[in-house]
C-alpha cells in the first residue's frame, strides 16, 4: 500500500516546477511589454525636456520682440495709438524734444504720473486762492497732519520730533531734499513741488525723507479737491516767517 501511495505522489508536480513555470511566464510577459511599449516606458530626462521648452520659448519671445520693434501696428484703434518701429520712434522722439523740449518733458511726466495713478490736475487750480488755502488749513487739522508736521516755529509737533518727520517752516517750497527710495533704500534728491507733494500723499512708502524713522502712514482717504486744498495750504507756508 505504501509503495502505491509513493508512486502516485511522484506523478504530482512539485513546488519547484510551479516556481519555474511562474518565472517563465513572467519573463515572457516582460519581453512582450518591452517589445510593445519599451520606447514609451523609457525614462525621459526632465532637465533636457525643460531646457528644450525654455529654448523654444526664448526663441518665440525673441521673434515677437523683433517683430514688435521693426513693424508698424495699431495698438488701440479707438484711441488711435499706433506702434512704430524702434528706429522711427527714436527719431520722432529726438525731433520732438529738439522742437519743444520743455513741453515735451512735461507731457512725458504727466503721462507717467497718470499711469502710476498720481495724476491730479493742478494747472487749472489757483493754489494762491485764499479760500482754497483756508480749506486746506481746516483739513490739516481734521486729518491730524499737525501731529507729525510742524508748521509753526512756536508750536512743536511731538510725534514729528520723535519720528523725524519733515517740517514745513521757512523757505522750503521748490528746494531740494534728500529722500530714500523706499524705507532705507538708496538716496536720491527731489524737489519739494506739486508732483512730489502729491506722490508723498498718494504713495508715502515710495520716497521717505532722509532722517525719518518711519514713512508717513496712509492718510485718511481724500479726494482730489481735498488734496489740492492741502497742497495750497502747505505751499502757502513757505517763507511764512519772513512775511
157 and 229 part of one domain: yes
Q: How far apart are CA 160 and CA 145, in angstroms?
A: 10
| Total count of domains within the chain | 2
Could you tell me the sign of the dihedral formed by the alpha carbons of 146, 150, 155, 161, in that order?
positive
Q: Does some domain include residue 177? A: yes
In this predicted structure, the answer to whether residue 229 has a pLDDT above a threshold of 90 is yes
d(CA 147, CA 163): 11
Residues 28-76 have pLDDT tens digits of: 777 776 666 655 555 556 678 888 888 899 888 888 877 777 776 766 6
Same domain, 143 and 206: yes
Domain end among 88, 115, 142: 115
The position carrying cell 497718470 is 114
Asked if residue 11 belongs to a domain, the reply is no
Question: What pLDDT is recorded for position 187?
Answer: 93
Whether residues 110 and 179 share a domain: the answer is no
Residues 136 and 109 occupy one common structural domain? no
Same domain for 186 and 142: yes
- Residue finishing a domain among 115, 141, 163: 115
Q: Kindly report the CATH number assigned to the domain that includes residue 162.
A: 1.10.760.10
Task: Give the pLDDT score at 98.
Answer: 64
Last residue of some domain: 67, 83, 115? 115
In a domain, 14, yes or no: no
- Please give the Cα distance from 135 to 5 (Å, whole number): 120
Q: Which residues contact 73 (CB under 8 A, 6 or more apart)?
A: 82, 83
**153 with 105, same domain?**
no
Domain co-membership, 97 together with 182: no
The dihedral sign for the CA sequence 199, 201, 202, 203: positive
Answer with the residue of higher pLDDT: 60 or 4. Answer: 60
Same-domain status, 170 and 209: yes
Does 27 reside within a domain?
Answer: no
pLDDT per residue as tens digits for the range 67-124:
777 776 766 667 666 666 766 666 666 666 666 655 555 555 555 555 555 555 555 6
Residue span of the structural domain in which 163 resides? 130-242
pLDDT at 184: 81
Q: Are residues 186 and 153 in the same domain?
A: yes
Let me know if residue 45 belongs to a domain. Answer: no
Amino acid at each position: 500500500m505504501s509503495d502505491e501511495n509513493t508512486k502516485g505522489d511522484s506523478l504530482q508536480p512539485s513546488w519547484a516546477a510551479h516556481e519555474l513555470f511562474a518565472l517563465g511566464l513572467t519573463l515572457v510577459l516582460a519581453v512582450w511589454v518591452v517589445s510593445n511599449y519599451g520606447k514609451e516606458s523609457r525614462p525621459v530626462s526632465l532637465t533636457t525636456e525643460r531646457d528644450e521648452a525654455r529654448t523654444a520659448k526664448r526663441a518665440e519671445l525673441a521673434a515677437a520682440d523683433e517683430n514688435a520693434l521693426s513693424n508698424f501696428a495699431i495698438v488701440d484703434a479707438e484711441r488711435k495709438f499706433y506702434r512704430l518701429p524702434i528706429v522711427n520712434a527714436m527719431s520722432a522722439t529726438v525731433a520732438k524734444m529738439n522742437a519743444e523740449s520743455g513741453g515735451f518733458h512735461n507731457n512725458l511726466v504727466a503721462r507717467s504720473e497718470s499711469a502710476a495713478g498720481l495724476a491730479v490736475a493742478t494747472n487749472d487750480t489757483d493754489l494762491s486762492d485764499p479760500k482754497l488755502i483756508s480749506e486746506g488749513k481746516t483739513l490739516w487739522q481734521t486729518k491730524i497732519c499737525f501731529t507729525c508736521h510742524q508748521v509753526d516755529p512756536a508750536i512743536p509737533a511731538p510725534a514729528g520730533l520723535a519720528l523725524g518727520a519733515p517740517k514745513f517752516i521757512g523757505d522750503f517750497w521748490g528746494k531740494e531734499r534728500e529722500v530714500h527710495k523706499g524705507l532705507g533704500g538708496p538716496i536720491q534728491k527731489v524737489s519739494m513741488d506739486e508732483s512730489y507733494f502729491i506722490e508723498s500723499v498718494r504713495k508715502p512708502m515710495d520716497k521717505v525723507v532722509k532722517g525719518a524713522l518711519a514713512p508717513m502712514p496712509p492718510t485718511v482717504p481724500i479726494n482730489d479737491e481735498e488734496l489740492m486744498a492741502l497742497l495750497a495750504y502747505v505751499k502757502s507756508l513757505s517763507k511764512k516767517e519772513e512775511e
